[in-house]
């Protein structure tokens, strides 16, 4: 039995992925024999409906001065965050007297839009290397982990916030109660806390099991977020689905009773109950679907190897750490992974030890098949590579099921 991080109730895990390394710990050859691993199991709390990792590595093992994920590697995501910022500017009528805080601003992909609109803003980003990129853009950044004590400190040196924003960060934080206490402290009476994360409903529907890795402590739904907000005298007032990261949800939270609650909130909660996200059963069949993808993908890769085909992968994503380690995909089946991120290149993927090579070498490698680990960016990537792939090279995707195209 494990204790729920939200309500302290007991729960049992519904899936066990075995021992997993840190998803973004790309290693040099000499570091390969000293890899940290943790037991990756996921459970569902029947009391508060939160889906969560049973065990999490310490935050310093994941977020530090060599953090490997830089947000601005996708042009689509740059536009997405520019649109996100514009929607907040009009929702809250922001101007040069306002104040915006972003938790986990990474390389400044979203705050750069506030900066160019001359709206005062502050980023909180504990990973020094990505924070440096944001600071080089002229953005003010505190390079610490956000929590209640830091919120208290910020409230002494800044006015309260008209908007507290966050993308793909809230689901990374096991000490989430401290974050919500911090939000309660820092948010103006008419302020909004808006965040987005991969959405549980989409993960179950698409069997996108690879959204589960060390950094993703929680898989949120409207059910679990409304419970959490309520505990902190806050309220879920809007929900807006996003297509990013394979299907995300943007949640808007305000002080309880101070803003009108959109009809979308209840509609989504009812839909979640209708598809059974509040019952154990949905999670049991999810595990079976994951194992079907495993059998199909390993079967395909093994057949291609026996036929002497060259298979490479595209995008050394965090998600691929779960895929390669749970499925047992080694350099035997996939030669290497091409990626545009310099800090990942000429290193080995966590656990599976597949070489990660610079994207600039992708085309000369002349593969027969390309396994798309960055499937969430499929539209952007397939468009970019369509001339090169032509008719004689094929993409392999595996969410929601294994497909060759």
Binders in 169-198 for ligand SAH, by CB under 6 A: 169, 172-173
* Site of tokens 């506030």: 114
Cβ nearer to ligand JHZ, comparing 23 with 234: 23
Minimum separation from the CB atom of position 326 to ligand JHZ (A): 15
Minimum separation from the CB atom of position 12 to ligand JHZ (A): 26
**In Å, how far are 42, 244, 271 from 112, measured between CA atoms?**
36, 19, 36
Name beta bridge partners: 43: 13, 52
Taking every pair of Cα atoms in the chain, the longest distance, rounded to a whole number of angstroms, is 66
Helix residue ranges, H only, 29-187: 59-62, 75-91, 111-116, 128-136, 148-157, 176-186
How far apart (Å, rounded) are the C-alpha atoms in residues 138 and 222? 35
* Site of tokens 């049992």: 12
Q: How many CA atoms does the CB half-sphere of 306 hold within 13 Å?
A: 6
Cβ nearer to ligand JHZ, comparing 81 with 369: 81
Cβ nearer to ligand SAH, comparing 104 with 315: 104
Residue of 318, 324, 345, 397 that binds ligand JHZ (CB under 6 A)? 318
Q: Is 102 in the site for ligand JHZ (CB under 6 A)?
A: no
Binders in 61-80 for ligand SAH, by CB under 6 A: 63, 67, 69, 71
Of 301, 306, 369, 377, the residue nearest 339 (C-alpha): 377
**In Å, how far are 157, 209, 237, 357 from 251, measured between CA atoms?**
27, 22, 8, 37
Q: Could you tell me which stretch among 119-127, 252-260, 361-369, 376-384 binds ligand SAH (CB under 6 A)?
A: 119-127
In the shown chain, the binding pattern of residues 143 to 162 toward ligand SAH, with x for contact by CB under 6 A and - for none, equals --xx----------------
Q: Is 398 in the site for ligand SAH (CB under 6 A)?
A: no
- The answer to whether the bond into 400 is cis (omega within 30° of 0) is yes
Residue of 162, 196, 202, 215 that binds ligand JHZ (CB under 6 A)? 215
Q: Is 125 in the site for ligand SAH (CB under 6 A)?
A: yes
Chain residues that interact with ligand JHZ, rule: CB under 6 A: 69, 73-74, 168, 215, 245, 315-319, 339-341, 359, 374, 376-377, 380-381
Chain residues that interact with ligand SAH, rule: CB under 6 A: 63, 67, 69, 71, 103-104, 106, 109, 124-127, 130, 145-146, 167-169, 172-173
């Amino acid at each position: 039995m494990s204790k729920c991080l939200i309500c302290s109730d007991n729960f049992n895990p519904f899936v066990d992925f075995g021992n997993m390394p840190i998803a973004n710990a790309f290693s040099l050859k000499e570091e390969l024999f000293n890899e940290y691993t943790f037991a990756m199991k996921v459970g569902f709390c029947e009391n508060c409906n939160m889906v969560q990792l049973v065990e999490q590595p310490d935050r310093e093992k994941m977020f530090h001065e060599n953090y490997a994920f830089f947000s601005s590697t996708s042009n689509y995501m740059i536009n997405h965050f520019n649109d996100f910022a514009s929607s907040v500017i009009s929702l809250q009528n922001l101007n040069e007297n306002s104040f915006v805080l972003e938790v986990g601003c990474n390389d400044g992909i979203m705050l750069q839009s506030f900066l160019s609109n001359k709206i005062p803003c502050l980023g909180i980003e504990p990973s020094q290397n990505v924070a440096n990129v944001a600071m080089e853009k002229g953005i003010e950044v505190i390079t610490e982990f956000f929590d209640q004590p830091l919120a208290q400190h910020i409230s002494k040196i800044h006015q309260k916030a008209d908007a507290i924003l966050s993308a793909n960060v809230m689901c990374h934080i096991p000490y989430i109660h401290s974050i919500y206490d911090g939000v309660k402290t820092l948010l103006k009476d008419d302020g909004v806390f808006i965040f987005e994360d991969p959405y549980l409903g989409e993960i179950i529907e698409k069997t996108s099991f690879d959204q589960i890795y060390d950094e993703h402590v929680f898989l949120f739904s409207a059910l679990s977020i409304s419970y959490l907000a309520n505990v902190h005298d806050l309220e879920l007032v809007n929900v807006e689905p996003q297509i990013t990261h394979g299907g995300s949800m943007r949640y808007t939270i305000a002080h309880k009773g101070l803003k009108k609650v959109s009809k979308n909130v209840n509609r989504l909660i009812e839909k979640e109950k209708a598809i059974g996200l509040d019952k154990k059963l949905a999670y049991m069949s999810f595990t079976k679907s994951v194992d079907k993808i495993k059998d199909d993908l390993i079967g395909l890769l093994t057949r291609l190897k026996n036929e002497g085909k060259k298979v490479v992968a595209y995008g050394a994503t965090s998600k691929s750490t779960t895929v390669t380690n749970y499925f047992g995909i080694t350099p035997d089946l996939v030669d290497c992974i091409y990626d545009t991120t310099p800090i990942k290149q000429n290193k080995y993927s966590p656990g599976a030890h597949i070489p990660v090579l610079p994207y600039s070498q992708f085309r000369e490698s002349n593969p027969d098949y390309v396994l798309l680990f960055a499937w969430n960016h499929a539209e952007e990537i397939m468009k970019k590579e369509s001339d090169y792939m032509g008719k004689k090279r094929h993409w392999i995707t595996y969410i929601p099921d294994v497909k060759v195209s």
